[in-house]
Structure 1
Amino acid sequence: MSPLGHKLWRDLWHIKGQAAAIGAVIAVGVLLLVMQTGLVTSLQETRDAYYDRYRMAQVFAPAARAPNQLVDRLAEIPGVAAAYGRVTGSALIDIAGRDLPVQARAVSVPDFGPPPINGYLLVDGRHLDTRQDSEILLLESFAAAHGLRPGDRLSATMNGARRHFRIVGLAQGPEFLYVTAPGEIIPDAARVGVSWMSRAALSAAYDMDGAFNEALLRLGRSATEAEVLDAVDRVLDPYGGLGAYGLEDHGSDRFVTEEIAGLRATSRSVPPIFLAVAAFLLYIVMTRIIQSEREEIGLMKAFGYTDREVATHYLMMVLVIAGGGAVLGAALGVLAGRLQVEIYLEFYKFPFLVFRVDPAAIIAGIGLSIAIASAGGLMVMGRVFRLTPAAAMRPPAPADYSRTGRLAAGIAHVLDQPSRMVLRRITRQPVRMAGSTVGIACGMGLSVAMISLMASFDGTIEHSFSVADRSDLNVTFTHAVGESAIFALRRMEGVIEVEPIRHVPVVFRNGLNDYQGALTGLVPAPRLFRALDRDDREIAPREDGVILGAALARILDIAPGDMLSVEMRQGRQEMLDLPVVGIAETRMGAPAYMELAAMNRAIGEPGRVSGAYLRIDPEVAAPLYQRLNDMPAIAGVTLKSDSREAFQRIMDTGAGAVRYVMAVIAGVITFGVVYNAARIAYAERARDLASLRVVGFTRAEVSFVLLGELVVVTLAAIPIGSGFGFGLAWAVSEAFSNDIYQVSAYPDPASIGSAAVAVLAAAAFSGWVVKRQIDKADLVLALKTRE
C-alpha cells in the first residue's frame, strides 16, 4: 500500500463517526430506491403474468339480464378476441360465532370446462362437479380468515332464499387481488368472500336461465378500447346494460395500480433528498479536512506528489464513504424488499410474489450516490490545486475579530468573554454558520415531514369515521328499493335514526378527462353521513348541482362553478350537464354527491334507495343484527367499527407502512446531521479551545465557547426546518394519496414540537460527546502550535 493509501485509512478512522453518519444517510437513500423500485417491478410483473396466465378480462360489461345469444354478437365486435357471459350475484354467508352474516359474491363457472376468461387457480381441494348444485369453491383468503377447509359445509342467503353448500376446494383469481364489500373501498378478508358455483346452479338461484348479467371480453392487439366499449354498450343497452368499462376501472386492478404508482412516485422523489443531504455534509466535512490539513498538503507537494495525486487522495476519501454507504444501502434494500413482499402477499391476494432485484436500480443507486457525493467533494478540490507548498506550510492568517458588526458592538458590553467569543464567531463567519444551520434544518425538516405524515394518516381515519360518518352501521340492499324499506328499518327496536342513501353508477366527463365512479344521493339535511369542506363545515346537497370530492375534482381538473357532464348508467341512463356547487374534503375514495330526490328524478326512479346509514342502541345490537339478517332485501350490513379497523390495517401495511420506516430514518438522520455539525465545529477549533485552557479558561467556559455556538445554530435551524418540513410533508402526502385514500398534510404544532424536541435531544447528546473530547484535549498540542 502506498503512503497515501495508509494516510487515507488513518484519516477515515480518525473521522469514523462522521463518515458513518454520512454513509448512513447515503445508505438510506439507496435502500429506499432499491426497495421501492424492486417492489414496483415485482408487483407489476407478477400482476401481468397472473393476468396473462388466467386470461384476465380487458373489458367488463354488467347488465340486468341479457340472453346468451348476445355473447356471439359481442365476439363479432371489431377488436374483440374473445367474449364470455357469466352470472354473478350477491350472497350473505352465515359464519359461526358472528352476529352478522358475511357479504360474498357468487360467480358462475361453465358447466363444461374451465372459464375461458377470468379463470381461477385451485390452491386446495378439487374442482367443481358441475352436476352437483350444492358444491362451491371458496376464496382462499376468506376461508383462511374463518378456518374453513374443503369438506366443510356452510349456509348462505342468495336472492332471498337460504341455501346449503359444501366446500370442495379453495381458489384464487386474478380479478380478486383486492376484494371489498359492495359500496366500500376497504378490503377485509374476514368480511368479504367470493364463491364459485356451477352455471346451472347459480342461474337457477338468480333466475338467469338462458341469460347472463355480466359479459367479459378480451381484446386483440389492434383493438381500440374506447370503440369497443361504445359498441358493447350499444349491444347491451336494450337489456339493462350498466355501462362497459376497461380493466383500468376494475376495482381490484385500480387498487393494485394505485399502489404501484405510489411506490414509483416515492422512489423517484424521496431518495434524492437523502443523497442531497449527504452531498452537503460531505462538502462541509471535506472543507474542514482540507482547511485543517494545509500543512500536510504542503508537505505532500514538497515531497513530489502532484496536484492530481493529492486531489485524488481526498477524492478517494469521498468515494469510500459514498461507495460504502451505497453498497450497504443496496444490500439492506434487497433485504427490506423481501420483508415488504411478505406484507404485500398477505394484503394483495397473489398466489406468489417474489421480490425482484432490479439491477438497474442498484447500479443507479450506487452510481448516483457516488456522482452526487463526488460533486460535493469536487467543489472543494480546487483549494488543493491552489495551495503551493510554501503557502500551505504557513499557518493561515488569523481571523479578524476586531469588528463584530453593529449588533455585536451594541451588546458586547453586557456579555462575558466566552459569550463575546461565540458572538464574534457567528457574526464574522456567517456563511459557515448558515451552512451548519441549513444542515440541521434539513434533519429537522425530515423529522417534521415524517411526524406530520403520521399525523395526517391518523387524521384521515378520524375524519372519515368520526367527523364525516357519524353512523354506527350501514345496510346495502340487493337492489334499489322503495321507501317502505326505510320505514321498516325505522320501526325496528334499537334503531335510533335512519338516513337513506343511493349510489348510482355514472361516468363523469370534463373535456378530455373522465372517471367511472358513482353518484351518491343524500337527503337534503344529512346528519349521519355528510359532505364537509376543508374547515369541516357541512355542504348541503343541492338539486341543481353536484358536490365533488377533492380527489375527483383533481382527477377531472374542475372547480366550483364549472359544468360537469354526468352520464347515468341506471334508469333512463341520461346525460346530465350539472354545475359543480362545492368541493368536499373527502379522505377516502373519489365520491360525488347530489340531493337524493333530484337524482332519482333524473334517472326516472323516484322514491328509490340502495342503502341506509343507521344509528342504533348498542344495548340491543345483537337481536337487531338478527332481524336485519332476516330481511331478504338486505345484501349486507357493515359495522363502522369493522371498517375502521380494516382501514387502519391498510394504513399500517403497503405504502402506508413506509411512513413508520421513514420516521425512524428521519430521526437517525437528524442525529447524524447535528452530530456532524458539532464534530466539525470542534475539529475546526480544537487548537483554539486547547489554547483557551492553557491561558486559564475553565473546562465549563471552554465548552460554552463551542457549545454556545451549537445552541445558537440549532435554535436558528428549528423555524427553517419547520417550513422545509411542511413543504416536504406536502410533497410526500401527494405521492401517497390516490383514489383509495387521500392524505392531507397540514401544519401541526405537535409535529413541530416533537421534531424540535428530537433535534434538541440530538444536540444535547452531541454536545455531551463533544464536551468529553474538550475535557480530554491535549494541552501540550496547543503549546506546540506555531500560531
Structure 2
Amino acid sequence: MSPLDHKLLRDLWRMKGQAIAIGAVIAMGVLMLVMMTGLVASLTETRDAYYDRYRLADVFAPVARAPERLAAQLAEIPSVSSVQTRVVGRALIDLPTQVLPVQAQAVSLPDRGPPALNDVFLTDGRMPASGRADEVLLLNSFAAEHELRPGDTLRATMNGSRRSFDIVGLAQSPEFLYTTAPGELVPDDARFGVIWMVRSGLAAAYDMEGAFNEVLLGLARGSSEEALLDAVDRALESYGGTGAYGLADQLSNAFVTQEIEGLEASTVGVPPIFLAVAAFLLYIVISRVVQAEREEIGLMKAFGYTDIEVGTHYFKLILAIAAGGALAGCLGGIAAGRGLIGLYTEYFKFPFLVFQLDPASFAIGITVSILSASAGGIFVLRRVFALTPAVAMRAPAPPNFSRTGRIGQSFSQLLDQPSRMVLRRLTRQPGRMAGSIIGIASGMALSAAMLTIYAGFDRSIDQTFSIVDRSDVMVSFTHAVSDKTLFELVRLPGVERAEPVRNVSVVLRNGLESHRGGLIGLPPAPELNRALDDTLAPIELPDRGVVLSDVLAEILDISPGDTLIAEVREGRQPRLEIPVAATAQTLLGSPAYMSLDALNRAMREPGRISGAYLTIDEAEAEAIYAALQDMPTVAGLSVKSQARDAFLRMLNEGAGAIRYAMGVIAFVITFGIVYNAARIALAERARDLASLRVIGFTKGEAAFVLLGELAVVTLVALPVGAGLGYYLSFVIAAGFSTELYQIPAVFDPTTYGQAMLVVLGAALVSGWLVKRDLDRSDLIEALKTRD
C-alpha cells in the first residue's frame, strides 16, 4: 500500500463522524431514487404481465341490448383479433352484518371454457359448473373483508329480484385492480364487490337470453384503435350502443395508470431535489476539507508527488465517502421499496407483485453522488495546485481582526471576548457563513415542504368531505327518474333535506384533447354538494354553461369563455356545445358541473334526476336505509362517513403512504446537514479552539466560540429555509397529485413552526455531540501540525 493510501485510511478514520454524516445525506437521496424508480418499474411490469396473461380486452363496448349473432359481424372487422360478448349488471348484496346493502357488479362467464378475453385468476375454490345458475365466484378482496369463503351462501338482488347463491370460489381479475362503487372514486373493498356467474344464469336474471349488453374486443397488432372504435360504434348504434372506449379509459386501468404516472412524475421531480441538497452539502464539505489541508498538500508536493497524484489521492477520499453513501442508499432503497410494495399489493388487487430493480437508478444515483462530491474538491484543488510547495506549506495569512468592520466600536465594547470572536468570524468570512446558512436552509426547506404535504393531505380530506360535500348520504337510482321521486325521499321519517343531482356519462372534447367522464347537474345554488372557487366561496351555477374543475380544465387545455364539446353516451346521445363559465377548486376527482335544469334541457329530458344528496337524523339511519333498500329504483347508497374512512385508508395505507417514507428521509437529511455544519466548523477551528484553551479559556468559553457561530447560522437559516420551503412545497405537491386526488400546498404557520423545531432540535443534538468531542480533544495533539 502506498504512503498516500495509508494517509487516506488515516484521514477517513480521523473524520469518520463527518464522513458518516455526509454518507447518510447521500444515502437518503439515492435511497429515494432507487425506491421510487423500483416502484414504477414493479407496477408497470406487473400490470403489463397481468394484462397479457389474463387477456384483458383492448376495447370495451357497452350496449343496451344486442343479439348474439352480432358477435360474428364484429369479428369480421379487420383490426379485431378476438371477440367476447357478455352480460353485466348492477346488483345489491345483502349481508347480515351490514345495515346497508352492498353494491356489486355482476359479470357473466362463458358456460363452457375460459373467456377469450378478461379471464379471471382463481384464488380459492373452483369455477362455477356449467348450467349452474346458483353458483358464483366472488371478488377475493371483498370476500376477505366480510369473511366469506367457498361453501358460504350469498343473497343478492339482481334486476329487482332477490336470489340466493352458493359461493364456489374466490377470484381476482385484471379488469378489477381498482374497484369503486358506481358514482364514487375511492375504492373500498367492504362496500363494493364483483360477482361472476355462468352466462345462461345471468342472462336469465337480466332478460338477456340470446343477447348481450357488453362486448369486449382484442386489437390486432399494428391496428388503429380509433378506427376500431368508430367501426364498433357504427355496428352497435342501432342497438343502443353507448360508445366504445379503449383500455386507457377503462376505469380500473385508468386509475392504475394514473398512479404509475403520478409516481413516475414524483420520481422525476422529487429525488433530484433531495440529491441536489446532498450535492450542495457535499460541495461545501469537500471544498472545506481540501482547503483545511492546504499545508499537507504543499508538503506532499515538496516530497515530489505530482498534481495528478495528489489530486487522485483526494479523489479517492471523495470516492470512498460518496460511493459508501451511494451503496448504502442503494441497499436502503431496495429494502424500502420491498416494504412499500406490499401497500400497492393491498391497494391494487394484483395477485402477485415483486419489487423490480431499475439498474439505471443505481447508475444515476452513484454517478450523481460522485460527481457532486468531486465538484467541491476540484474547485478548491485548482487554486491550491497553482501554489508552489513553499507557499502552499505556509499557512494562509490570518484574517485581520484589528478592525471590527461593520460592527460598531460602541457595540463591540458591549460584548465579551468570546462573543466578539463569534461576530468577527461571521462578518470576516461571509462566504463560508453563507454556504452554511444555505445548507441548513435547504434542510429546513425539505422538512417544511414535507410537513406542508402532510397538512395538504389533511386539507384535501377536510375540504372534500366537510366543505364541498355537506350531505350525509348519497342515493343513486338505477336510471334517470322523475324529480318527483325527491318528494318521496323527503317524506321518509328522519330525512331532513334532499337535494337532486343528475350524472350524465359523456366524452368531453376540446380540439385534440378529450376526457371520458360525466356532467353533474346540480341546483343553481346547491347547499349539500357545491362547486367552490379558489377562495372556497360557492359558485352559483349559470343557467347556461359548465363549471369545470381546475384539474379537468388543465386536462382539456380549456379556459372560461371557450366552448366545450360534450358527446353524451346515454339516452338520445346528443352532441352538446357548452360554453365554459368558470373553473372550480376540487381536491377529489375531476368533475364538470352544470345547472340541473340546463342539463335536462340539453338532454331534452326535463324534470329528470339520477340521484339525491340527503341529510338525515342519525337516530333514524337504520330505518332510512331499510326504506331506501325497498325502493325498486334505488341502485345504491353511499354514506359519506364510510367514503371518508375509505379515502383516509387509501391515503394512509395505500399509495399515499409513500409520503411518510419521504418525510423520514427529509428529516434524516435535515439532521445530516445541521450535523455536518457543526462538524465542519469543529474541523476548521480545532487548532484555534485548542489555542484558546491553552491561553486560559475554559471549556465552556471555547465551546461558546464554536457553538455560538452554529447558533447564529442556524437562526439566520430558519427564515431563509421557510421561504425555500414555501416554493418547494408546490413542486412536491404537484408530484403527489393525480387525477383522482389533488394535494394543495397551503401555507400554515404551524407547519413551518414544526419544521423550525426539527432544525433547532437537530442543532441542539449536533451541538451537544460536537461539544462532547471538543471537551474530549487532546490539546497537544490538536496543536500539532499533521503530517
TM-score, normalised via structure 1 length: 0.97
Cα distance in 1, alignment partners of residues 782 and 732 from structure 2:
49
Q: What is aligned with 1:73?
A: 73
Q: Sort the Cα spacing of 1:654 and 1:319 in 2 relative to 1 into closer, same or farther, 3 A.
A: farther
1:499 maps to a residue whose letter is E
Q: What is aligned with 1:145?
A: 145
Q: What is aligned with 1:260?
A: 260
Cα distance in 2, alignment partners of residues 48 and 518 from structure 1:
28
Q: What is aligned with 1:272?
A: 272
Whether the aligned pair in 1 keeps the contact of 2:66 and 2:239 (CA below 8 Å) is: yes
Shift of 1:782: 7.0
Shift of 1:2: 2.0
Q: What is aligned with 1:169?
A: 169
2:129 maps to a residue whose letter is D
Cα distance in 2, alignment partners of residues 331 and 589 from structure 1:
37
Whether the aligned pair in 2 keeps the contact of 1:279 and 1:376 (CA below 8 Å) is: no
Q: How does 1:575-594 map to 2 (within 5 A)?
A: 575-594=575-594
Match of 1:332, SS? helix
Match of 2:89, SS? strand
Deviates more, 1:302-311 or 1:83-92: 302-311
Q: What is aligned with 1:750?
A: 750
Q: What is aligned with 1:63?
A: 63
Match of 1:193, SS? strand
Match of 1:273, SS? helix
Q: Does 2:182 correspond to 1:182? A: yes
Whether the aligned pair in 1 keeps the contact of 2:344 and 2:655 (CA below 8 Å) is: no
Q: Does 2:52 correspond to 1:52? A: yes
Gaps of 5+ in 1: none
1:442 maps to a residue whose letter is S
Shift of 1:184: 0.6
2:726 maps to a residue whose letter is F
Q: What is aligned with 1:373?
A: 373
1:141 maps to a residue whose letter is S
Shift of 1:590: 0.8
Cα distance in 1, alignment partners of residues 557 and 376 from structure 2:
41
Cα distance in 1, alignment partners of residues 531 and 659 from structure 2:
28
Q: What is aligned with 2:637?
A: 637
Match of 1:612, SS? strand
Q: What is aligned with 2:390?
A: 390
Q: What is aligned with 1:573?
A: 573
Whether the aligned pair in 2 keeps the contact of 1:282 and 1:318 (CA below 8 Å) is: no
Cα distance in 2, alignment partners of residues 634 and 127 from structure 1:
31
2:622 maps to a residue whose letter is A
Q: Does 2:664 correspond to 1:664? A: yes
Q: Which runs of 4+ in 1 moved over 6 A?
A: 782-786
1:398 maps to a residue whose letter is P
Q: What is aligned with 2:207?
A: 207
1:483 maps to a residue whose letter is D
1:726 maps to a residue whose letter is Y
2:194 maps to a residue whose letter is V
Shift of 1:283: 2.2
Shift of 1:346: 1.4
Q: What is aligned with 2:324?
A: 324
Q: Does 2:763 correspond to 1:763? A: yes
Whether the aligned pair in 1 keeps the contact of 2:141 and 2:349 (CA below 8 Å) is: yes
Whether the aligned pair in 2 keeps the contact of 1:233 and 1:241 (CA below 8 Å) is: yes
Match of 1:221, SS? coil
Q: What is aligned with 1:559?
A: 559
Q: Does 2:520 correspond to 1:525? A: no
Shift of 1:104: 0.4
Q: Does 2:414 correspond to 1:414? A: yes
Cα distance in 2, alignment partners of residues 306 and 312 from structure 1:
10
Q: Sort the Cα spacing of 1:149 and 1:479 in 2 relative to 1 into closer, same or farther, 3 A.
A: same
Q: What is aligned with 2:110?
A: 110
1:317 maps to a residue whose letter is L
1:393 maps to a residue whose letter is M
Deviates more, 1:610-619 or 1:238-247: 238-247
Whether the aligned pair in 2 keeps the contact of 1:490 and 1:497 (CA below 8 Å) is: yes
Q: What is aligned with 2:192?
A: 192
Whether the aligned pair in 1 keeps the contact of 2:287 and 2:379 (CA below 8 Å) is: no
Q: What is aligned with 1:737?
A: 737
Q: What is aligned with 2:337?
A: 337
Cα distance in 1, alignment partners of residues 202 and 410 from structure 2:
90
Q: What is aligned with 1:88?
A: 88
Q: How does 1:121-136 map to 2 (within 5 A)?
A: 121-136=121-136
Cα distance in 2, alignment partners of residues 492 and 585 from structure 1:
34
Deviates more, 1:149-158 or 1:417-426: 417-426
Cα distance in 2, alignment partners of residues 211 and 482 from structure 1:
29
Q: What is aligned with 2:721?
A: 721
Shift of 1:725: 1.3
Whether the aligned pair in 2 keeps the contact of 1:310 and 1:384 (CA below 8 Å) is: no
Whether the aligned pair in 1 keeps the contact of 2:270 and 2:735 (CA below 8 Å) is: no
Deviates more, 1:372-381 or 1:468-477: 372-381
Match of 1:142, SS? helix
1:605-652: CA deviation from partner (whole Å, max 9, x where unpaired): 211111111111011111221111111211111111111111111111
Deviates more, 1:361-370 or 1:306-315: 361-370
Gaps of 5+ in 2: none
1:197-241: CA deviation from partner (whole Å, max 9, x where unpaired): 121211121122222111211111222112221222222222222
Q: Number of residue pairs matched?
A: 786
Q: Sort the Cα spacing of 1:216 and 1:162 in 2 relative to 1 into closer, same or farther, 3 A.
A: same
Cα distance in 2, alignment partners of residues 347 and 642 from structure 1:
17
Shift of 1:536: 0.9
Cα distance in 1, alignment partners of residues 406 and 293 from structure 2:
34
* % same residue: 61
Cα distance in 2, alignment partners of residues 395 and 369 from structure 1:
31
TM-score, normalised via structure 2 length: 0.97
1:573-612: CA deviation from partner (whole Å, max 9, x where unpaired): 2222222111111001111000111101111221111111
1:280 maps to a residue whose letter is F
Match of 2:479, SS? strand
Whether the aligned pair in 2 keeps the contact of 1:146 and 1:190 (CA below 8 Å) is: yes
Cα distance in 2, alignment partners of residues 402 and 420 from structure 1:
12
Question: Alignment RMSD, CA only?
Answer: 1.8
Cα distance in 2, alignment partners of residues 116 and 410 from structure 1:
91
Whether the aligned pair in 1 keeps the contact of 2:242 and 2:569 (CA below 8 Å) is: yes
Cα distance in 1, alignment partners of residues 408 and 288 from structure 2:
26
Cα distance in 1, alignment partners of residues 566 and 700 from structure 2:
74
Deviates more, 1:411-420 or 1:342-351: 411-420
